[in-house]
Structure 1
């Protein structure tokens, strides 16, 4: 079987059933202009795709503004400083950890103001927590802080109908007025350091996670999120990304959507 056959076959099943998949693209960890960011944006423009960039407010460099001044790019908030505040022996987390909820929210609010001043209408108040982890108390307070949604990793909470979030792959119940628009396929694996996850593994996971939607094991209406980290890509990752975008863009079952469109179509928690 060729590398992409399993994905093609699953997408063909969607087409045969008269259904399509809403797909969006999120890239994390933007802080400044770089050759990698230029390459990422070039891929998006070449394939004519919308792209959501999760920017780190506290470490953001002035040159990021010009780098992201491109049609089709939406800026999201990637925590505050991408700094670990976990307690001893706990998994890395910035939106929580060994701090009071108010302190976390005050910091995130400062980050939101920075991004609003810097990017204006290109900024969407969506929280993308570093390491895809957020304390439930922090998540619950996000609507009062002015956030429209939360983007974690993994399928959102599904109970036949209704929504939820996911952080670090674990479903999270969301408060009212907060949308969950998550990522589901990370091109990198992180154990032992960031590296390309591999073609066979990624295609298998992609096909399996689409089948879960089609068979209603997870929310059948949830948009599918592709996740990249431009600063950590090697040549194998870049090559796979180009092949994947071309393949997806040519299939009638795929509808690439900007996150702003998905927000209007997503049920609130």
Structure 2
């Protein structure tokens, strides 16, 4: 069977939605599918915003990985997630920064003894497993997407098998990496919706790099959301993005077992 040739790339347009369809068309022309996944941070309890997130996921028949803060997680959240396809992963311990003044916020930096931080992570993993049962996957999403390299190398000691950060994952990093690549919130500009161009740009870049060999072709392109913070424009964008991806045959959504491994 002849190998599909790389289709010529049409020039970028002024419409990022058109560019997204064109990029996925190029995947289709190669007989390939682009995998996606969705992570949402900072859940601790039921809320109207969480209801909106779950309703959006259900409308598009998608599962979402909720990064839950163990120290504040409530049994009510576990009850709310029952009978949904939601997956729970660990969001640090208490989402508090221990970084010295003048450094970027980080709960899981190498500022404290690793044994103390690992003890917190073990307590968090145990609590989430108790609350959420087999809905919980032993994956860590560090608060602020920051973790010290020495601590990262020892996460297996805390029973955590997957690390989820932000940006293209590093090859040969040892621990399984499942990163996110686009965040709709403008955290430095008022915490509102960042705009269609700014949010779709990293998605388009990651897809193109995966397709052409500039990034791991098997790395799913990840969407990062924060349901407690999104403004109306952000919710409208998420609905539009899920609709656009759901309509295109080249967009694939692997199930949780394919990304996190079989349930414990």
SS in 2 for 1:232: coil
The 8 Å contact of residues 23 and 254 in structure 1, kept in 2 or not, is answered as yes
The answer as to whether partners of 1:128 and 1:151 remain within 8 angstroms in 2 is yes
Equivalent pairs, count:
249
Which consecutive residues of structure 2, in runs of 5 or more, have no partner in the other structure?
Answer: 1-13
SS at match of 2:167: coil
Runs of 4+ aligned residues of structure 1 deviating over 4 Å after TM superposition are none
Question: Could you list the per-position Cα deviations for residues 89-118 of structure 1 after superposition, in whole angstroms to 9, with x for gaps in the alignment?
Answer: 110000125311111111111111110110
C-alpha deviation, 1:60, in angstroms: 1.6
Q: Distance in 1 between matches of 2:237 and 2:129?
A: 34
- Confirm or deny that 1:8 pairs with 2:5: no
- Equivalents in 2 of 1:254, 1:191: separation in Å? 31
Farther-moved stretch of structure 1 (229-238 vs 195-204): 195-204
The match for 2:236 is 239
The answer to whether the 8 Å contact 2:45/2:74 transfers is yes
**Counterparts of 1:21 and 1:251 in 2: how far apart (Å)?**
10
User: Counterpart of 1:197 in 2: which secondary structure?
Assistant: coil
What is aligned with 2:198? 201
Report the counterpart of residue 248 of structure 1 in structure 2.
245
Q: Which has the larger radius of gyration?
A: 2
Q: What are the superposed Cα offsets for residues 42-88 of structure 1, whole Å, 9 maximum, x if unpaired?
A: 01111111111000010123321122213311100000000000012
Alignment gaps of 5+ in structure 1: 165-173
CA RMSD in angstroms comes to 1.5
Partner residue of 2:51? 38
Structure with more strand by fraction: 1
- In structure 1, C-alpha distance between the alignment counterparts of 2:201 and 2:108, rounded to whole Å: 31
- Residues 201 and 134 from structure 1, CA distance in 2 versus in 1: closer, same or farther, beyond 3 angstroms? same
The alpha carbon displacement at 1:3 in A equals 4.2
In the alignment, which residue of structure 2 is the partner of 1:169?
none
Q: TM (normalized to structure 2)?
A: 0.90
Using the size of structure 1 for normalisation, the TM-score is 0.89
Show the counterpart of 1:219: 216
Q: 2:36 pairs with 12, 23, 26, which one?
A: 23
SS of equivalent residue, structure 1 residue 217: coil
Q: Deviations over 1:96-155 (max 9, x none)?
A: 253111111111111111101100110001011000000111111111221121000111
Looking at structure 2, the residues matched to 12 and 202 of structure 1 have their Cα atoms a distance apart, in angstroms, of 20
